[in-house]
Amino acid sequence: MVTRAANHDDDIALAQACLNQEPSAVQALRDTYHVNLRSVLLRRGATFTEAEDLLWDLWGDLLAGKNGGEPLLTRYHGRCSIKVWLITVATHRLVDLKRRARFQGELRSGVGDDEEEEAATPFDKLPGPANTSPDKELAGLLHRAVHDAIKGATPEERVMLRLVYIENLSQREVAQMWGWHESKISRFLTGALSGIEERALSTIRKADPSLEFTLADLLDLCDGTMELLLQGAVPPSSQSKKPGRKG
């Protein structure tokens, strides 16, 4: 049974309908997310064939558990959107595939042609990962990277990002508050976002060089982390004050 969480009722209903084997729901899930998931995997280094194979395996596992286990979709509890959950699961599987391929290459690089088949056979018989749920270690790394990157922004950057992306002020309105030209606000915001992306990706590359993401990918996977942090970007003592005017 899929449990209920606020703001994702439609996704929960879709997941439950799929688990009930309703053909229209299963088709809707694939039609809605297959192309998007494939694009995500391609951006993260998968070949077209790898992406398609991973996704068709994923669609099967969502509704039919492996070795008599529960369907993978029962692990979706509505704590994030089903899109973000699927991206996380697919990314986890791609990382496993790439690590396996890299390890297999390292094993084979140490043997001659006559030994290659013999050396590869035991490895190929190894079972896949037992846990097919989203990788908690990976999710933790992504959240920490985005969190630290945003915290590393200047107070002024966080305030301005919050005003534009959370409070939905236009850049023209922010320019009037700061006493800046609108083009300067645009450049400032672009620089702030670039800094967040650079810091976040640097953290991820240091932890695992095999992972390839963009800031948009990270925010999708973190499902609102940036929004939550920016909501708290203005200290309580300054929330009622306007930003200082600068030339």
Q: For residue 15, name the pLDDT band (cuts at 50, 70, 90).
A: very high
CA gap 219, 229 in Å, rounded = 12
CA gap 110, 119 in Å, rounded = 10
CA gap 154, 137 in Å, rounded = 28
Average model confidence (pLDDT) for the chain?
Answer: 75
- Work out the burial of residue 169: count CB atoms within 10 Å of its CB; fewer than 13 is exposed, 13-18 middle, 19 or more buried: middle
Neighbours of 61 (CB within 10 A): 17
Query: pLDDT per residue over 72-117, tens digit each?
Result: 999 888 877 888 889 888 888 888 888 777 665 554 555 454 444 4
Structure tokens that stand for 158 in this block: 């966080």
Residue with the bigger pLDDT between 47 and 239: it is 47
Q: Are 214 and 204 in contact (CB under 8 A)?
A: no
CA gap 176, 161 in Å, rounded = 15
CA gap 104, 109 in Å, rounded = 9
Query: pLDDT per residue over 45-81, tens digit each?
Result: 888 999 999 999 999 899 886 776 789 999 888 877 8
pLDDT at 52 (0 to 100): 93
Q: Are 73 and 19 in contact (CB under 8 A)?
A: yes
Query: pLDDT per residue over 189-216, tens digit each?
Result: 999 989 988 998 898 888 877 666 676 6
Structure tokens that stand for 114 in this block: 């006559």
Q: For residue 245, name the pLDDT band (cuts at 50, 70, 90).
A: very low
CA gap 212, 36 in Å, rounded = 17
Kindly tell me if the per-residue pLDDT of 143 is higher than 50.
yes
Residue with the bigger pLDDT between 36 and 133: it is 36
Q: Are 63 and 73 in contact (CB under 8 A)?
A: yes
Kindly tell me if the per-residue pLDDT of 185 is higher than 80.
yes
Kindly tell me if the per-residue pLDDT of 240 is higher than 50.
no
Domains and CATH numbers, the chain: 9-132 (no CATH), 138-238 (1.10.10)
